[in-house]
Structure 1
Amino acid sequence: MFELFNFDPKGDSRGSLISLEVGKEIPFDIKRIYYIYATKAGESRGFHAHKALKQVIFTVSGACDLVLDNGSVRQTIKLDSPEKGVLVDGVVWREMHNFTSDCVLMVLASEEYDESDYLRDYDEFLRWIN
């Protein structure tokens, strides 16, 4: 379903740096990168699953709640540090809630955008996985 992991920060008195490399922290070739920011208070995002896409999701700044649901287990993960990431692999329903005003949510994806890969209705998602 998903794997939660911590990125290894490097730094000194000037600040911190996190390096992400394909084949190390990112277990797939990256074909698409996008980020969500300036989400209005009280708004939620996501509400879909992917049939084949893999993603690594993390916050560059701020925080939000990432809800992951495989049809039998629903779990909420607080993304509140650029040192914390989540690998989502497989058909998993995802929602994002409780964005802080400074939240920048970064997503690294294994494939380019393809609308046919999306399951946007929860009941359709449940039928797909069963």
Structure 2
Amino acid sequence: MPKLISLPTYRDGRGSLTVVEKILPFEIKRIYYIYNCADLPRGGHRHKKAIQALICLKGSCAVDWNNGQAKGTVDLNQPDQVLIVLPEDYHVMRDFTPEAVLLVISSEYFAAEDYIDEDY
């Protein structure tokens, strides 16, 4: 089941600084980001090995998930929140606002064989 975690954030007159350090349950092997999204969903898969951390740096999007026993939706709209998606979590990202930038941090390098396209 995905887990939403608040990231340590330091605010003062200069702005906000959010830190991703010693909070992810995996070693980082891949980082990518999704932006300039059309009105089409992204994702639509689960993994054999990869754990992912999703942070909406700007704007917002919805993440639908299903782990075969439970399902739900998480709205990502704060850059100081990270959603941890486990390998068994089938996930679809949708309803991106026009300015949305979704950062994805993965425990694995890209491997087509790690993807499972079928939902439960």
Question: TM-score, structure 1 length as denominator?
Answer: 0.88
Contact 2:8 2:20 in 1 (8 A): no
Cα distance in 2, alignment partners of residues 121 and 12 from structure 1: 46
Q: Does 1:111 align with 2:108?
A: yes
Structure 1 residue 25: Cα displacement: 1.4
Cα distance in 2, alignment partners of residues 2 and 51 from structure 1: 15
Which aligned pairs between 1:35-74 and structure 2 lie closer than 5 A? 35-40=33-38, 42-74=39-71
Q: Does 1:26 align with 2:33?
A: no
Unaligned regions of 5+ residues in structure 1, if any? Answer: none
Give identity over the alignment, percent.
36
Secondary structure of the structure 2 residue equivalent to 1:20: coil
Q: Which runs of 4+ in 1 moved over 2 A?
A: none
Structure 1 residue 27: Cα displacement: 1.7
Q: 1:5 matched to which residue of 2?
A: 5
Return the structure number with greater strand share.
2
Cα distance in 1, alignment partners of residues 2 and 75 from structure 2: 14
Unaligned regions of 5+ residues in structure 2, if any? Answer: none
Secondary structure of the structure 1 residue equivalent to 2:96: coil
Question: TM-score, structure 2 length as denominator?
Answer: 0.95
